[in-house]
Structure 1
Amino acid sequence: MKKLLLISAATLIVSNSTFAGGILTNTNQHAAFLRMLSRGATTEIDGALSNPAGLAFLPKDGFHVGLSIQSAYQTRNIDASFMTYNGVSATGPTVSDKPFEKYYEGTAAAPVIPSLFAAYKKDKWTISGFFAITAGGGKASFDDGLPMFESAAMAGIFQNSVKAHQANPQSPIIVPGMYDITSAMDGKQYIYSLQLGLSYKATEWLSVFGGGRMNYFTGGYKGFLNAIVKGTDTNLLPLALNCDQTGWGLTPVIGADVKLGKLNIGAKYEFKTNLNIENNTKNLQYPPSAKDMVAPYEHGVNTPNDIPAMLSIAAAYEFLPVLRASVEYHFYDDKNAGMANGKQKYLTKGTNEYLAGIEFDVTKQLTLSCGGQITDYGLSDNYQSDTSFSCDSYSLGVGAKIKMNKHLNLNVGYMWTNYEDYTKKSTNYNGTGLPGTNVYSRTNKVFGLSADYSF
């Protein structure tokens, strides 16, 4: 029997970003992004993340700071349908006439996500930085477990009971309906990042940036599965996990900005971050036959969790003094970023994102804006799993900027993401030897409020 792969929960679904961006990258850290989405050519304080070279064109010398608070809510659901064994005939195991069907609902919530931006400009030099949660940022919960665990448990219990029956005909063959499975999975993941760097205005139209980002990973995973024979307290297959993980890595960042009258072009490149996470396993219960399979997740073991290299290119144009628009492109080199068990090799390509935004000054104090983003992953059946799946999507954002006075601006934004369902069919569903199908689906909503102050 393939013993449940419980420990693959160490890459639980929270490994997918809670925000916009690539598989393991959060691009939205400021409400200005939520209200417009395309910010790669901005010269405002949120450029400390999205266009740091552009901060050399801040309108005046001095300090500039920004504080942003966001709330993100997601669902990550799996509509599962798989065949099960229901007995034994003279020719071998028999299969049920109808598939086992169950809808597994997962939720991920991050009610308070803070980000802090700062810059100091003096003549041609600008020093800038930010602190943010650049990946993860929430807790994912599957209160009814996951189909990969439940299907493997059903098949394993049946196969073990057949072996026991062959050794002792008095031992019953156990099929679904003779026991109840209870299972739950929880996980949380955060990558805290602190970036510092320098921008230099080389000419009246060109600025450059160089800097680095320190990333600290912390996560935690808990799960259990019990299969209790009906009318008894016999647990056919007790499994449990309680594991914390930590790690860190450095990201070099370079950028450039070209300002040609009403046109501004921003570019940024973030190098790949080599990041390994180490297990601090507090509880790990599993059948002896699964020891080799769970060995990578024993206490003290390291697992690759690289942050991929990322390229951003954007152009913003002022059509009128009150009307501006921006377009942008992102590429995440996911295929060359190490993942657990070399999972990145199953991607067909890196992630491509296409963004656009527009803003209009209704009055001198009020700016309204909106934007859109298309995210295209290189997904494949071998890459997708119950514990970590992605779906191609498009996002829409709306919001406003309010100029409170000459020093203070407020940004408010709301973004929602529409995902394309991903259907994965298998002739050997989770190693059971039987066919099955999963339909993966997601939803995402993010609200943010930011305050920017210059002095």
Structure 2
Amino acid sequence: MRKISLIGLAMLIVSIPTFAGDYLTNTNQNAAFLRMIARGASIDVDGVYSNPAGLAFLPKDGLQVALTIQSAYQTRDIAATSPLWTMDGQTTVRNYEGKASAPVIPSIHAVYKKGDWAFSGSFAIVGGGGKASFDNGLPMFDAAAISLATSASGGILKPNMYNINSAMEGRQYIYGFQLGASYKINKHFSVFAGARMNYFTGGYKGYLNIALKDGVAQQLGAAMVQQIMAANPGMSLEQATQTAQAQSGPLLQKLDNTKIELDCDQTGWGLTPIIGVDAKFGKLNLAAKYEFKANMNIENDTHTREFPDAAADFMAPYANGVNTPSDLPSMLSVAASYEFLPSLRASVEYHFFDDKNAGMADGKQKTLKHGTHEYLAGVEWDINKLFTVSGGYQKTDYGLSDAFQSDTSFSCDSYSVGFGGRINFTQALSLDVAYFWTTYSDYTKEKPRGLEATSMASLVDKDVYSRTNKVFGVSVNYKF
């Protein structure tokens, strides 16, 4: 069995994105994305993020602003099958449910166009954006507790003799402030240059306690008295009882000393340079954007860090002031849109996130098989001057591996569908409303608890990770 390891606790804060995109990157920052998904060739105010170079082709000069509110809800469940839960050779399943929510995620995008120039800026939650909680703990917590109880009791305590109380909660927000300028070179080409300042704030809390079930202490005491009297025939019951109490006292004290508790806040920042290009040929529009890697370290501000000696090495990274790499990966977006009719448009898009070259805690990125690939498509139709409806699809392929996945930081390949519409109240005022959900493929991790060198090596020991995700968004767009 592995030694107790809480190294995954810190990774919770980089594992709860409730949006589309990469591990640390949210690509949906406007309801227009939620309702159509493929917006990489958009020439609209949401292009401040999705296609900044295209802003130079906006049909009218002046200021445009979009205010967006999104609500996102996600579940993160683990079905853990292991003989460790009984320690008697019987394989059982324990289910752990995690919930992540971000009821209000605001963002604002603005662009001012004058002639061939367009100046844009935005403030949004560009990564994370919620809290995740596992009220009944995690498999790694239970495995750690069983290991500690077995070690502390010399093998006397079995899992059915004590209760494990554990829970954890994490939060993550990466705020992004972006500024840039677009320039129309001629009637066909425009370019963009800008940068985004990313500020990370997050934190996590976790605890683990082990408590004997009612009557277990008395049962152990009686069993020890019988053992002592059997080994010492001339000993009186009173003497055997005193000896048993003297032996059981340190054992129970060791059990009390297995408490684990963490309370840590983290902050960090990094800069993302951004460049883009747009090529417009009548009804066809082509666009590309490249976001450079943002080097970012997150620093601990630790308030509570209690643990037994057995966990000292693994708790060291959570000491106050320790820095952990958490880079935002470089990202390439290429897209094309075509206007089949004045009222009917369609788009396709591709994203690549270079995750293997973005630093993570303990060099975890090296275990990935490849960076993240995303494939997007969308269509929108103007029913009339008042209403526009749209829909879109996205497929996400992570380069996952067993070494990358953990209880506190796991991802699943997925596909997403979004739909919604726009209401054009006036030429200046419009409203986007959208709903977006994701269907994930379960990921099965074999032998997660390191039982290969034990008598339980031949038994089933696996975790099945599953997720759900739903997002609702509204954007108010105004042209001054």
* TM-score category (smaller protein): over 0.9
Aligned residue number for residue 462 of structure 2: 437
Aligned residue number for residue 37 of structure 2: 37
Query: 1:6 is paired with a residue of what secondary structure?
Result: coil
Query: 1:12 is paired with a residue of what secondary structure?
Result: helix
Q: What amino acid does structure 2 have at the position aligned with 1:137? A: G
Aligned equivalents of 1:450 and 1:152: distance in 2? Answer: 46
Q: Is the 8 A contact 2:13 2:202 kept in 1?
A: no
Deviations 1:145-199 (A, max 9, x none): 000110122123213322xx7xxxxxxx111111100100000000000000000
4+ residue runs over 6 A deviation: none
Q: Is the 8 A contact 1:74 1:107 kept in 2?
A: yes
| Bigger proportion of residues as strand | 1
Aligned residue number for residue 84 of structure 2: 84
From 368, 375, 378, the counterpart of 1:357 = 378
- 1:282 is aligned to 2:265: no
Aligned residue number for residue 73 of structure 1: 73
- Say if 1:452 and 1:182 are closer, same or farther in 2 by CA, change over 3 A: same
Aligned equivalents of 1:250 and 1:122: distance in 2? Answer: 27
Aligned equivalents of 2:50 and 2:332: distance in 1? Answer: 11
Q: 1:369, CA displacement in angstroms? A: 0.4
Q: What amino acid does structure 2 have at the position aligned with 1:224? A: Y
Query: 1:388 is paired with a residue of what secondary structure?
Result: coil
Aligned residue number for residue 108 of structure 1: 100
Q: What amino acid does structure 2 have at the position aligned with 1:454? A: K
Where do residues 293-442 of structure 1 align in structure 2 (5 Å cutoff)?
Answer: 293-426=314-447, 428-429=449-450, 433=454, 434=456, 436-442=461-467
Query: 2:338 is paired with a residue of what secondary structure?
Result: strand
Q: 1:100, CA displacement in angstroms? A: 3.5
- 1:218 is aligned to 2:201: yes
Specify every segment of 5 or more residues in structure 1 that has no aligned partner in the other structure, as ranges.
Answer: 87-94, 166-172
Q: 1:427, CA displacement in angstroms? A: 7.0
Aligned equivalents of 1:66 and 1:432: distance in 2? Answer: 58
Report which stretch shifted further, 288-297 or 131-140: 288-297
Q: 1:237, CA displacement in angstroms? A: 1.8
From 98, 111, 135, the counterpart of 1:143 = 135
Aligned residue number for residue 22 of structure 1: 22
Specify every segment of 5 or more residues in structure 2 that has no aligned partner in the other structure, as ranges.
Answer: 218-251
Query: 1:84 is paired with a residue of what secondary structure?
Result: helix
Aligned residue number for residue 288 of structure 2: 267
From 168, 175, 197, the counterpart of 2:158 = 175
Query: 2:362 is paired with a residue of what secondary structure?
Result: helix
Query: 2:159 is paired with a residue of what secondary structure?
Result: coil
CA-atom RMSD, angstroms? 1.7
- Say if 1:194 and 1:7 are closer, same or farther in 2 by CA, change over 3 A: same
Q: 1:235, CA displacement in angstroms? A: 3.1
- 1:254 is aligned to 2:275: yes
Q: 1:432, CA displacement in angstroms? A: 8.5
Question: Max radius of gyration: which structure?
Answer: 2
Aligned equivalents of 2:415 and 2:94: distance in 1? Answer: 27
- Say if 1:85 and 1:250 are closer, same or farther in 2 by CA, change over 3 A: closer
- Say if 1:326 and 1:85 are closer, same or farther in 2 by CA, change over 3 A: closer
Aligned equivalents of 1:344 and 1:120: distance in 2? Answer: 39
Aligned residue number for residue 129 of structure 1: 121
Q: 1:3, CA displacement in angstroms? A: 4.7
Q: Is the 8 A contact 2:69 2:106 kept in 1?
A: yes
Q: 1:23, CA displacement in angstroms? A: 1.3
Q: Is the 8 A contact 2:8 2:409 kept in 1?
A: no
Query: 1:105 is paired with a residue of what secondary structure?
Result: strand
Q: Is the 8 A contact 1:85 1:158 kept in 2?
A: no
Aligned residue number for residue 239 of structure 1: 260
Q: What amino acid does structure 2 have at the position aligned with 1:184? A: A
Q: Percent identity?
A: 60
Deviations 1:100-138 (A, max 9, x none): 421000000000000100011110111001100011100
Q: What amino acid does structure 1 have at the position aligned with 2:353? A: Y
Q: What amino acid does structure 2 have at the position aligned with 1:132? A: A
Query: 1:156 is paired with a residue of what secondary structure?
Result: helix
Aligned residue number for residue 449 of structure 1: 474
Aligned equivalents of 2:16 and 2:303: distance in 1? Answer: 24
Aligned residue number for residue 170 of structure 1: none
Q: Is the 8 A contact 1:206 1:256 kept in 2?
A: yes
Aligned residue number for residue 147 of structure 2: 155
- Say if 1:424 and 1:117 are closer, same or farther in 2 by CA, change over 3 A: same
Aligned equivalents of 1:298 and 1:430: distance in 2? Answer: 29
Q: What amino acid does structure 2 have at the position aligned with 1:450? A: S
Q: 1:17, CA displacement in angstroms? A: 1.6
Q: Is the 8 A contact 1:152 1:430 kept in 2?
A: no
Q: What amino acid does structure 2 have at the position aligned with 1:45? A: V
Report which stretch shifted further, 283-292 or 212-221: 283-292
Query: 2:430 is paired with a residue of what secondary structure?
Result: strand
Q: Is the 8 A contact 2:392 2:418 kept in 1?
A: yes
From 230, 240, 252, the counterpart of 2:213 = 230
Q: 1:31, CA displacement in angstroms? A: 0.4
TM-score, length of structure 1 as denominator length: 0.93
